[in-house]
Amino acid sequence: MARINLGNFGNIVPQAQSTPVVQGSNAVADTLNTFSNIAYQQADRINRENQVIKQEEEKDNRLLYANTTAKMNSDIELLDQDITQKVSTNQLDMQGAITERQSALDNIHKQYHANIPEPMQNQFNLSFDAISHDSANKIMPVFVKAKRSQDLQMVDSLKEEALKSTDKQKALAFIKLGVDDAGLTDAEKTETLRDSARRWDKNENNRVLMALSESKDLATLESQSSEEFIKKQYPDMSQEDVLNAVNARKNEIARINQVNKIALDKQTNLAQKALADFKSDVFAAGGR
């Protein structure tokens, strides 16, 4: 049988052939790369913009924080000046000052805390505590000084009342009781009691002198006008006080003697005048 020539169709195994390259694939890749670069650049730009915005917000927050904190500090200083003035002039005692100051501090904190950005509120609270605590430390010496001044005034008032007593030991006992509770130093207590004893002696000396003067008791005045007598009778008076007491009694003796002399001279003159008038009347009667 004759063989039929199938030509190429007779080879049942296909022969490999090269695939033609499409010229447009490089353009697509380039386009994709371009889009990717643009997207990256846009993301980078947005990121940098966000960083700038964040930095500006942080700067604004810091400026707002600084400004608010400065105003808060000014208000606290004004408050403490007012409290100090009231304490110094006895308008407020220590407890009253503490209560009024704390109430005002609470109001100041509420007023300014609301304006502080959330990220800086903790820092603001710390600053508030530090400023208010620092100012409190400055006020405390004023409290102590005012309290001491009040105590000294109370002691002075106590002395004035106690020294009215005619019993020296009783007067000094009252004063000692007061100075023990007034927070005075030992030296101040000693000086207060010494001065009180001195003042009581001076007051008693003046009282006795006034009584003797009113009664014109020259004998007693003369017997009690020596320096030795004054020192023994009033041992807590200073030397200057003693000399002044001696001079005061001698002056009073001289004054009483002068008054008595004037009265005696007046009586003598009146007697002489009466006698002269009597003689004149007698002579006139005899002539008639």
Angle value at C-alpha 78, between 74 and 82, nearest 5 degrees: 170
Burial of 234 (0-12, 13-18, 19+ CB in 10 A): buried
pLDDT of 221 reads: 92
How does residue 283 score in pLDDT terms, banded at 50, 70 and 90? low
State the Cα–Cα distance between residues 154 and 152, nearest whole angstrom.
5
Taking only the tens place, the pLDDT of each residue in 17-53 is 444 444 456 776 667 677 677 767 777 677 777 777 7
Distances (CA, A) of 127 to 59, 102, 120, 132: 18, 16, 11, 8
pLDDT greater than 50 at residue 129: yes
First to last CA, the chain: 235
List Cβ neighbours of 139 (8 Å cut-off, separation of 6 or more).
Answer: 80, 83, 84, 87, 97, 101
How does residue 3 score in pLDDT terms, banded at 50, 70 and 90? very low
pLDDT greater than 70 at residue 192: yes
How does residue 277 score in pLDDT terms, banded at 50, 70 and 90? low
Taking only the tens place, the pLDDT of each residue in 209-264 is 999 999 889 999 999 999 999 999 999 999 999 999 999 999 999 998 888 888 77
pLDDT of 282 reads: 65
pLDDT of 239 reads: 95
Q: pTM of this prediction? A: 0.55
The residue assigned the tokens 């106590």 is 158
Report which of residues 146 and 272 the model is more confident about: 146
pLDDT of 144 reads: 82
Other C-beta atoms within 10 Å of 39: how many?
Answer: 10
How does residue 12 score in pLDDT terms, banded at 50, 70 and 90? very low
Taking only the tens place, the pLDDT of each residue in 41-99 is 777 677 777 777 777 777 888 888 889 889 999 999 999 999 988 888 888 888 888 89
pLDDT of 208 reads: 94
